[in-house]
Chain A
Amino acid sequence: MSRILPITLLTLRSILREKVALCMLALLAGVLFLLPSGLEGDGTLSGDVRMYIRYTLGFSALLMAGMTLWVSCASIATDLTNRRLHMVLTKPVSRWQLWWGKWLAVTILISILMTLSGMVTLWRVHQRVGEESLSEHDAAVIQQTLITARTPVDVPEKDFREEAVQEVKSRLESGWLPPGQMTEEEVILQAVLYLRTLEFSARAGEEASWTFALAQPVGEGELLQLGLAFDGTSMGMTSLQGTWVLGTPDAPDLAVIPITGSPSGTEVFPFNEQGEFDGATSITARFTLDGEEGRMVFFKPATGVRLYRPGGRFAPNLFRAVILYTGLLALLAALGVATSGMFSLPVACYVTAVFLFMQAFSGVVSEVIELESAALTREDIPAMERVLRETRVAAFKGIQLALRPLRLGQPLERVASGERIAPGEVAGTLGLRFLPLLSVTALVGGGLFLRREIGGAV
């Protein structure tokens, strides 16, 4: 450790001398201090607060990912090309120590910056709320709907397979032919997707309904919220109008929430302000879309219609999200340092960035796996092709596995939408997911660096 520390300190110093890193720091400062004042919100308190939380966190998350990428990829590579490692590695410093020293420097830097971003966001929000003179009730609503940590309750996930098989069978019997070369399994998969989408949609004039089962009964005066995440409409509707009716199985009409506006983004609607739902263990939500027949609105499958319950205070939740995200960046840093020990700076950046951007295609990856697996259920494929397809599925599953921990931005997005991040989740993710991955990355990266020649052919 006593050998790692000087390396870490010097690396931090080098980073603060680097032009690119300095530009990124300046950008971060801009995002934190200038952006909120520059972006005019809709003027309302809730609009401003939401913007502060969402944009400052979102932008700083993005910047920090870029910064981590650059700084970690430069860490060993620049010392190598400037030949400073000649002098460092002829001292009693093992290459492992150098590797961890570099990683530690990047991790310390991003921890500090992420904590700062979180604190500035928090300070901004409180400052903005302090500007208004709110009644006690309004302040409570703001606290519970915006600056909050909520636990979502989702409708139980359904298995649509049975239903899909029935549907396909009945259609085939009535003489319907599947398009193109689709196998029966592929048609069934499509049908499952279709049914899942339908489950989270509403058609004008028809009532759609969802039921939420609560693990604990609603507490006295507990402020509940209905959360909606829109996923588009049919026929390009730009505004919608409809009515939500909330209740319990015994009293289905306890609260009515009319909604109007654009069907995009997410929205929450508080209810149970009078305590009508106190003690309920099950809540029903029914929605009727107004307008011409045939119009449809789609919510995000699985999470598009959910119930929120209070889940604690905002600040600790933000802090937990920052820890999670920092952990994620530390993992990215390990990847960067690992490539930095193997390649020159541009190549290291390229390799790490490709890995990062592959994240954007994780949807495609899942799709390939799903389709290929479906194709494999066919019995008439030649043996060679089967092997080929099986290999492909295995390879893509590997990619999917490797990409999963790098789903950047997620914890901050969640905290921005007010979702509670449980302490257990933080500990679990760090300990069971990040730590093993970090160890593997370090082992592979450090191991390859160990074998590398210093001052040899480049």
Chain B
Amino acid sequence: MMSEEPIVYTQGLQKIFKDFWRRPRARAVDGIDLSLKPGEVYGLLGPNGSGKSTTIKVLLGLLHPDGGEVRVLGRPPRDVQVKSRVGYLPEESYLYPYLDARETLRFYAALFGLKGELREQRIDQLLDMVGLAHTGRRRVGEFSKGMARRIGLAQALINDPDLVILDEPTSGLDPLGTRQVKDIVSALAKRGKTILLSSHLLADVEDVCDRVTILYGGKVRASGPIRELLQMANNLQIKLGDLPDEKREELLTALEGVLGTRPDIEPTRRDLETLFLEVVAQARRETGEGSGTREEGELAGFLQ
């Protein structure tokens, strides 16, 4: 099934924004090489303005490269056939404000040629998945940023794409939403989809990505499997469970004997995300639902 050909391939990709007189204004992408293997989650990491979105727009055929080679699913990115196998969530969700959530998804489904029962089924599943099933006739123009983001994610998956490109998928989302997006990404990857996501939020990338490329000023500054990049060869961490005081003292003395100095020791803290998720889950059990999003459902079943 899976060919050895990279799903996304760029070689020396360049994009220079020019002004009206064709004078170069910004070298947004400057010689980027990427190669995504089937089924991997690939992270594009970089501060604001480092060229992540520009790279993605070139991959989608929205912008034309000024140099280098680009292939997506083995074809040039502007090929209409390629697009039926790609799902894309832009940096911001630019929706038609007078459509409701279902109409929005119907429109994008129609652009993929999806019709009738199949289309409605997918829409139901996606709305459930992103927790917007209850918004009914409310128009997306009234949605909060996070809700709009969720609709954006749903439309990116409506065609059951092989390649999913998410530009800052978690921007504007609350920690719950963020967690959920990360879960969706992991679940999609398990089902064999290739995912390219960009972010400036390091935690997002760290949790889900297999490989990352770090961009700065349109250039690749580091690239590789995330484990390798994060490993610090000479710096180890020991994790211990519940330990009675006298045992702890014994251990430290033993370590001091080996190392010559007494090592630092501090209790493990849960991270803020875990705490937040627990608090909200508790609150939900007590007060029921608000007007925003609801607890999200399973990954949509049609996504294979």
Given A13-B98, A17-B98, A92-B112 contact (CB < 8 Å): yes
Please pick, from B25, B94, B110, the residue contacting A82 in the complex, using a CB distance under 8 A.
Answer: B94
Select one of A10, A14, A457 contacting B25, CB under 8 A: A457
Kindly provide the distance from the CB of A81 to the nearest chain B CB, expressed in whole angstroms: 10
Check B64–A93 contact: CB distance below 8 A: no
Select one of B17, B60, B61 contacting A457, CB under 8 A: B17
B110 contacts across to A, CB distance below 8 A: 2-3, 5-6
B179 at the interface (CB under 8 A from A): no
CB distance from B164 to the nearest CB of A (A): 12
Q: In this assembly, does A162 line the interface, its C-beta being within 8 Å of a C-beta of chain B?
A: no
Contact A6 B111, CB 8 Å, known A457-B19, A457-B25: yes
Q: Are A91 and B111 closer than 8 Å at their CB atoms?
A: yes
Flag the segment in A59-67, A139-147, A213-221, A448-456 that touches B.
A448-456
Asked whether any CB of chain B lies closer than 8 Å to the CB of A89, the reply is yes
Q: Which one of B17, B20, B62, B64 contacts A90 once the chains associate, using CB atoms below 8 Å?
A: B62
A13 contacts which chain B residues (CB < 8 A)? 98
Given A87-B155, A457-B19, A92 and B63 contact (CB-CB distance below 8 Å): no
Q: Of the candidates A6, A17, A454, which one forms a contact with B107 in the assembled complex, judged by CB atoms under 8 Å apart?
A: A6
A453 and B64 within 8 A (CB)? yes
* Contact residues in A for B94 (Cβ distance below 8 Å): 82-84, 86-87
- Considering only CB atoms and an 8 Å cut-off, how many residues of chain B contact the other chain? 33
Chain A residues whose C-beta falls within 8 Å of the C-beta of B64 in the assembled complex: 453
Interface string of A72-88 (1 = CB under 8 A from B): 00000000001110111
A92/B81 in contact, CB under 8 A: yes
Chain B residues closer than 8 Å to A5, beta-carbon distance: 110
* Distance A51 CA – B138 CA, assembled complex (angstroms): 47
CB distance from B239 to the nearest CB of A (A): 44
Q: Which residues of B contact A91 (CB under 8 A)?
A: 83-84, 108, 111-112, 159
Q: Name the A residues within 8 Å of B90 (CB-CB).
A: 83, 86-87
The answer to whether the Cβ of A262 comes within 8 Å of any Cβ in the partner chain is no
* A10-B96 in contact (CB<8A): yes
Q: A453's closest neighbor in chain B, by CB?
A: B63
Do B98 and A92 have beta carbons less than 8 Å apart?
no
Across-interface contacts of A2 in B (CB, < 8 A): 110, 113
Interface residues as binary, B64-101 with A (CB distance below 8 Å gives 1, 0 otherwise): 10000000000000001101101010101111101000
Chain B hits for A453, CB < 8 A: 62-64
Instruction: Tell whether B18 is near chain A: CB-to-CB under 8 Å.
Output: yes
Which A residues touch B88, using CB under 8 A? 86-87, 90
Contact between B25 and A90, CB atoms less than 8 A apart: no
Interface centre among B83, B95, B96, B159 (most CB of A within 10 A): B96
Whether B182 sits at the interface, judged by CB under 8 Å, is no
A92 touches B25 (CB 8 A): no
Majority secondary structure, A binding face: loop
Whether, in the assembled complex, A94 has its beta carbon less than 8 Å from a beta carbon of chain B, the answer is yes
Cβ-defined contact, A455 with B62, below 8 A: yes
| Chain A interface size, under 10 / 10 to 19 / 20 to 34 / 35 or more | 20 to 34
B55 nearest CB across to chain A (Å): 12
Contacts of A90 in B (CB 8 A): 60-62, 83, 86, 88
- Chain A residue with Cβ nearest B82: A92
A3 touches B111 (CB 8 A): yes
Chain A min CB distance to B53 (Å): 8
Interface string of B23-66 (1 = CB under 8 A from A): 00100000000000000000000000000000001001111100
**Residues on the A chain within 8 Å of B19, using CB:** 457
A420 → chain B closest CB, angstroms: 45
Cβ of B19 to closest chain A Cβ, rounded Å: 7
* CB <8 Å contact, A84 and B62: no
What sequence of 0s and 1s flags, for each residue 10-38 of chain A, a beta carbon within 8 Å of any chain B beta carbon?
A: 10011001000000000000000000000
- Find out whether the CB atom of B92 lies under 8 angstroms from the CB atom of A92: no
Minimum C-beta distance from A69 to chain B (A): 23
Chain B residue contacts of A94, Cβ below 8 A: 80
A123 CB, min distance to chain B CBs, angstroms:
33
CB within 8 Å of B: which A112-160 residues? none
Shortest distance in angstroms between B80's beta carbon and chain A's nearest beta carbon?
A: 5
Contact of B57 with A92 in the complex, beta carbons under 8 Å: no
Q: Chain B contacts of A88 at CB under 8 A?
A: 111
Q: Which of A17, A82, A87, A456 contacts B17 (CB 8 A)?
A: A456
Query: CB-CB < 8 A to B108: which residues of A?
Result: 87, 91
A291 to B109, CA, bound (A): 78
The reply to whether A454 and B63 contact each other, CB–CB distance below 8 Å, is yes
**B94-130 interface with A by 8 A CB criterion:** 94-96, 98, 107-108, 110-113
Chain A residues lying within 8 Å of B18, measured Cβ to Cβ, are 457
Closest to A86 in B: B90
Which of A297-352 touch B at CB < 8 Å? none
Chain B residues with Cβ below 8 Å from A454 are: 57, 62-63
Q: Enumerate chain B residues within 8 angstroms of A7, measured Cβ to Cβ.
A: 111
Q: Which residues of A contact B92 (CB under 8 A)?
A: 83
Report how far A2 CA is from B155 CA in the complex, Å.
19
Q: Which residues of chain B have C-beta atoms less than 8 A from A83's C-beta?
A: 90, 92, 94
Chain B residue nearest to A84 (CB atoms) is B94
Contacts of A456 in B (CB 8 A): 17, 62-63
CA distance A6 to B105 in the complex (A): 12
A residues in contact with B62, CB < 8 Å: 86, 89-90, 453-456
Q: A86-B90, A90-B83 are in contact. List 6 more A-B contacts (CB 8 A).
A: A3-B113, A14-B98, A86-B57, A87-B152, A89-B62, A457-B18
Closest 6 CB pairs of A and B: A6-B110, A91-B111, A92-B84, A83-B94, A454-B62, A92-B83
A-B contact pairs, 6 of them (CB 8 A): A5-B110, A83-B90, A84-B94, A87-B108, A93-B80, A454-B57
